[in-house]
Structure 1
Amino acid sequence: MSNTSSSAPTPATTAAFHLQAALSFAVALAAVAIGLLYLPADPWVRAFLGIAVLYVTTSAFTLAKCVRDKQESLTVVSRVDQARMDKLLAEHDPFRNVA
């Protein structure tokens, strides 16, 4: 018998949330790209800023993945620890003679 009230709830995201996040990302990236295209500067300056935007974008994805992986690993460890505790409690008999 496991105690589900003490385990951490897993946050559920909907398809609408994923769609909103993807659309928001696409709109933001498009806005920056359009801004760079119409920026009154030399082409090498626009190219440099474009590369900077790509670098920030890939870094953000990498950071998000690292945070997600860390949280998932902590959740798995927590579940394993909870399962071990549940097993110990299920096997423990306080009325057994210690003879």
Structure 2
Amino acid sequence: MREQDKYWLVYAKATFIIAVIAMVISIIKLPGDLLVKGYYSICSLFLVSATITLSKAVRDEAESKRLLNKLEEAKAAQILTDLDE
């Protein structure tokens, strides 16, 4: 893993943790009864879950496209090698 990638991963984890802590504190400090706080808590958890799922889906799609591009490049290289022979 490159040094830059390591720092990016630390940054991403730190910002996620800070955002979750800020969200929890704001829900606790929210004026209103327990029902309102519960509603916002469930919505926040759903938002976090949806964000994680979306980021995984986008990453998986990018990786599959990268693999397909590598396969197409290998096929093209093989065809060019066959034509040279």
TM-score, structure 2 normalization = 0.92
SS in 1 for 2:24: helix
Unaligned runs of 5+ in 1: 1-11
In 2, Cα distance between equivalents of 1:60 and 1:31 = 17
Residue 65 of structure 1, aligned match among 56, 59, 63 = 56
Larger radius of gyration: 1
Cα RMSD after superposing both structures: 1.5
In 2, Cα distance between equivalents of 1:21 and 1:70 = 20
Larger relative contact order (CA 8 Å, sep ≥ 6): 1
Residue 71 of structure 2, aligned match among 44, 59, 80 = 80
Structure 1 runs (4+) greater than 6 angstroms displaced: none
Q: Which residue of 2 aligns with 1:52?
A: 43
TM-score, structure 1 normalization = 0.79
